[in-house]
Structure 1
C-alpha cells in the first residue's frame, strides 16, 4: 500500500513538472456584421455558364468575418530543454452567421501544423500554413488582411494557405527571414501524385526589417497549380515589396506586387502590377481609423486587356474592452466587384458584379469578440 502511495505521489510530481513545462491555449475570434452591398449579381460566374453574371441588385444581409475571419484554435508549447521547444497550432475557421465550416469544409482549415523551435536557430514547422508572401506582407496591410474589404487574394494568390508545407521562420535582431516549400497544395488538385513531383508544389522566401518607426519587407512566391485533367501545371509567380513608417499616432504604409501567371505551355494567363497605400490612425486609445487605396494594373488577362480595378476602403474601429470592439467598415470598388472579384481573381470572394455595372459599394456595421 505504501509503495502504491509512493508511486502515485511520484507520478503526480512528474505530471506537475510536465504541466509546468508545457501549455495548451484555447483561443478564438467571433466576428459578425450586418452588410449592405450594391450592384451584386445573384448568379455565380462559372465555366458552366460562360462566366456570365446575372442582373445587378442591392442586398442587405448578415455576414461573418468583417475585420477578422471567425475562428477557434488550440496552440500548444512544450519546453524540451537547451533552448528547444515543441509546438503545434490547430485552427478552425467557421461562419459565425450560420455555424458552417469554412475553407472548403476542413476541420482545421485555417492552420494545422507541428514543429520545433530553437532560441538560436529559429522555427521549423510542418503542415497547413500561410505562405511566406502572406507572412512577409502582413505588417504592411492597412486593414490587417480584413476578410471583408481588402483584396488580399488578388495580392497574395489562391495559395495563401498551403497544404503539406515545410516552413522556416528565423528572427535575428531586427531582421526576420522566412521560407517555405509545399509538396502539394489542395487549391487546384491536391498534388503529391506519384511521378508528377511538380504538380501543385509551391515555394517562397522573404526577408523583413523592423527597427524603430521604420519597417520594410521583400518576398518571392511561386505556385505550380494543376490546370487540366491530364495533370498539366501552370507557373504562378509573385514578388512583393512593402514599407511602413510610424509618425506619432499614425502608421503609413504601402507596397507593390509584381505578378505573372502562365499555363503549362508557358503562355500568359495573367500579368499584373498591384499597388496599395494606407494609413492607420489611433485617434484615442479606444478609437482607430483606417484608410486604404488599392490599384491593380492588369497588363493582360488571357490575351485581353481590361479596365484596371481600384478600391478605396475606410474603417472605424472602437474598442469597448481589450477583447470586444465594434466597427464600421466601408469600401468602394471600380471596374470590379469588391476585393477585385473578377475572373482575374478566380471569382474567389463572392462579390460578383452584376451585368452592365462597373462599380460596387459595400458597408457593414459589426461586432468582434476575441477570447
Structure 2
C-alpha cells in the first residue's frame, strides 16, 4: 500500500469514531542494538522488537445493546530500524507470500485484521489472527518470543522454517473463523479456529493446502495459568502439526513457568521444553529462561539456550532493556543469534540493548 493511500485509510478509520462507542489508535515502538557472535561470522546491527514486536494499530467497539457488541481490530507490524512493514500471507501457502520482498510491500495489517461479534455466549471473530497453538508459546516465555531471548522452540521454528514449509509462519493464519468462550466460566476458557486455504476444489492433491485449524483450552485464575493447545495445517507435501502445554504460577515475589512442545512437519518431528521466570526488582524486572529443542532430522540436531534479561521501567509506557543469550548446538545444528553465523555443533552468543515505548 502506498503511503498516501495508507494515510487516507487511517484518517477514514479515525473518522469512524462518531459511529463507534470507542476507537483507539495504539502501538509499540521498540528498537535495539543487536550484537551476534558466532564461530564463522559476527554481526552488529540496529534491529526492531527486542522486548516487544513494534506495531501500529487501530481498534474500535460499538455497543449494540442487550449485552451484544461489534468490534474491529487492525494491527500492522513494522521495523523501527528502517521503517519497513512486516510481510503477510494471503492463503497460508507459498503462493500467498506475494511478489514483493519481505518488508518491502508497504505497511499491511499482517498481525491482525479482524471483525467480531460478542455477547454473553462468547465471541465470534473473522479475519487474519493468531493461531490458537501459538498463544501458549507466548504466555510461557518471559521474553515474549521476541529478541535474542526467544526460546529454542521458537528459534528453531521461526529461523529454520521447521513448521512453515509453505508460507505459514506458525504464528498467524489468514482467512480464519474463530470462537472464544465467554469470560465467566470460573477461570476456564477455550478458543477454536478454522482457516481456509482458498484453493479451487477440483480434486487436485493441493486443494486443501493452507487450510487447517487449532484448539486451545485452559484455566486462568489468580496466580495460576495452565493451558494445552494443538493445531494442524494441511499441505500435500506433508501436514504441519503443533501441540504444546504450558503452566505458570505467580508467587508474588517471582513468577515461574514451564512449557513442553511437539511439532511435526511431514515425516520430521521436533520436541522441546522451556523453564522460565520473571522477578520484579524495584522499577524493573529480571527475566530468565532455559530451553532445549531437538528434531528427528539426520543426526538429531539439537539446540540448548540460556537467556537472561532485565527491563527497567522509566514510566508506565517507556522502558530500557538488555538481554544476553548463549546457544549451544549439537547433532549437526548450526543455529546462531542476532544474524551471526556459526559452524555445526558450535556455540553462539547474542546481546540486545534497547528501548521500548508504547502508546
Q: Which runs of 5+ in 1 are unaligned?
A: 1-17, 41-55, 185-190, 226-231, 263-267
Shift of 1:132: 0.4
Deviation at 1:145, TM superposition (A): 2.3
Counterpart residue number, 2:72: 88
- Deviation of the 1:221 alpha carbon: 1.1
Residue equivalent to 1:271? 269
1 CA distance for matches of 2:254 and 2:199?
Answer: 46
Q: Match of 1:177? A: 190
What is the CA–CA distance in structure 2 between the aligned matches of 1:287 and 1:168, rounded to whole Å? 36
Map Cα deviations across residues 147-203 of structure 1 (whole Å, 9 max, x no partner). Answer: 44314264684231001111111132301100111102xxxxxx4334254111121
Match of 1:259 in 2: 263
Contact 1:136 1:208 in 2 (8 A): no
- The number of equivalent residue pairs is 308
Equivalent residue number for residue 95 of structure 2: none
Q: Give, in angstroms, the shift of residue 352 of structure 1.
A: 5.8
User: Does residue 1:111 correspond to 2:115, yes or no?
Assistant: no
Are residues 1:206 and 2:216 paired? yes
Deviations 1:271-327 (A, max 9, x none): 12110000000112x2100000110132x12xx123311111111000000110000
Match of 1:291 in 2: 288
Contact 2:148 2:351 in 1 (8 A): no
Structure 2 CA distance, aligned partners of 1:222 and 1:209?
A: 23
Partners of 2:19 and 2:288 lie apart in 1 by 44
Return 31-40 or 172-181, whichever deviates more.
31-40
8 A Cα contact 1:27 1:72, kept in partner: yes
Matched, 1:310 2:309: no
User: 1: CA distance between counterparts of 2:131 and 2:192?
Assistant: 8
Q: Could you tell me the TM-score, scaled by structure 1's length?
A: 0.77
Q: Which has the larger radius of gyration?
A: 1
Distance in 2 (CA, whole Å) between partners of 1:135 and 1:356 is 31
* Match of residue 131 from structure 1: 131
For 1:57, what is the secondary structure of its paired residue?
A: coil
Tell me how large the CA RMSD over aligned residues is: 2.3
Structure 2: gaps spanning 5 or more residues: 1-16, 88-101, 164-168
TM-superposed deviation, 1:135:
2.4
Which whole-Å deviations, capped at 9, do the CAs of 1:46-102 have from their partners, x for residues lacking one? xxxxxxxxxx22122111110111110001111111111111111111110000111
